[in-house]
Structure 1
Amino acid sequence: MADISTPFTVRDIKALDRTGGDTFTSVLLIRKLAERPTKTGNTFLAVELGDKTGSFTCNCFSDNPAYEFFKALKEGDIVRIEAKVDYYQSRLSPKLLRAEPLSQEQLAGSPLMANLVETAPEDADSLWLEFQGFIAGIGNAELRATMQALFEDIGDQFRIAPAAVSMHHAYRHGLLEHTVHMARACKALLLLYPEVHADLAMAGVLAHDTGKVIEYQGDLVPGKSRRGILQGHVVLGYQLVRKAGMKVKLSSELLERLEHIVLSHQGELEWGAAVIAATPEAVFVAKIDDLDAKMGMVQRLLRQAGENDEFSDRHLGLNSQLLLRPPGGNPSPAAASS
């Protein structure tokens, strides 16, 4: 039996015997809380609990005391649970034995608090320094000044914001990490595509997701703000870029093309793009964005994989399960460094 006096991380829990019914205690965040109907017309709560090493979902039916406990809480609250290892359809779904709420004040200064908040695996200060280098490397003075004006306004928020609520780079500093990864790819791939205006493409990469600093809110668990729901990050980013461009008197043609990159970077209308990419630079940025978003999903699934896991759960963004074991059975670089 697991030692119930020591809080387990989600990764620790996934390493426990799947069939032994081990009990464990853990301190976790409520990431998602959704009330859903059963086939018989009753309701149950789907409660996603997690920390920086991963997450799992517990289903609490209306005849279970845990139902009323979680119904009184909200996303972003912290709980200590005691539970028994159980799996449903090959997914970790522990049976709750006890649960109690904890406040941030109770965990202040504790390593348990730090373990709750998922952050980018790369050092945020180093990422920000590299990001500043990409701005300085833009040769066109007007575009460089536009990026400087833009990030003078939003830099503090941009450094810590997530890139999504759940899909990709959905953690603290995730937006910065995602954008730097895209800038690295942009710099490497520009050599292959001389048709693409290099400075405009790099500015588009750096600015494409800036609306997310307004779209998302929340400290421990990100959610959408009112403006995020009503306008979305594509429109919000367009507004931020237009404001910065007009402030530095960016030429009308470059401003129009930069705005177009932001408006089209989601790739498809059904994915949230305001328009379809219609310039070489916009096509280029949209494809790099999609590549890094998908690989960000892959990297996170590999980081959070349990040592006994062969496949991940089906990931909505990948539309598939991911094979977690590398060729030859050796640990992957991502898993080995976690």
Structure 2
Amino acid sequence: MKPGYRAILLILQNAPYVLFIILLVVFGLMSDRFLAVANFRNIIVQAAPIAILAIGMTFVLLTGQIDLSVGASMYLTASLLALYGGDIAWPQGLLAVIVVAGLLGAVNGAIITWLGVASFIVTLATLFILRGIAMWLSNTRTLMFSDQITNLNRASLFGIPSAIIAFVAVFAVAWVVLHQTSFGRQVYAVGGDPEAARKAGLAVRRIVFLCFVISGVCAGIGGFVSITQIGAVGPKYGDQIEFSAIAAAVLGGVSLFGGRGSVLGTVFGAVLIKTVQNGLNIINADPYIYPLVTAAIIFVAVAIDGVRTRIIDRLERRTIRPIGQG
């Protein structure tokens, strides 16, 4: 393989880090406030919900599937908590959200694995179904949360905000599961080659099912962290956030084709997206360009993944020569 391919691959694999440095320089030159320590802390706090959501999405993407319903799951579980949670203490509220969101993920996983319906179709359908149920239950009005929950946004441990603690905890558990357990190795094997994994005796359907449950649980946790920050949910809550989660994962090196990537890269991708949005806000950019920037990030992420995958396939391809030929 030509050295040029390896050089391009190296650039593509480190594209998020290069882009992050460029952003630091550009926004730093445009505003002194951008490089302040307090602003970086604010970026990480704001990135926490998307990072948690993207971590769950990483498990699904690694198996070669996709979950478009996470934003709707966030909205429905948050709405149920606001409508029926009352003055429930936050630990019970968080547990309830995790259980419900996990069940919603299990429904997706069951339909996809046991009925054989494509994940894109299933999760696109549940996106509309779950959001419709939430709108029906709430009558499309804005729902408020109790002080028990909103006060968490001001809570901290050793000066570290609760949102960052939650996001680091989810990241740590996900990293251990993916990189230190047999289940994690099986996830990569299924994403790399489902048929080979099946022939090797792996329970492919069970692994994919569990990844959708994990995605649902992360959607619940991410939604809970988000509502502690904003204190209310409306009909637009969680709308299209699944695309930001996918973009964060892919920007961080997770392949849309499965089998490649890590949660560390995913977390960095989420921080990168929030850095862009934060920088635009600090320089008082026109709010109407925010969706355009997000769309551009998604496009770049998908383009990088496509080129990166083709180059890796070429590097891994073995040329078979007849015996006796050099």
Pairwise TM-score range, normalised by the shorter structure: under 0.3
Q: RCO higher in 1 or 2 (8 Å CA, sep ≥ 6)?
A: 2
Which structure has greater helix proportion?
Answer: 2
Which structure has greater strand proportion?
Answer: 1
Question: What is the TM-score when the length of structure 1 is the normalising length?
Answer: 0.22
Question: What is the TM-score when the length of structure 2 is the normalising length?
Answer: 0.23
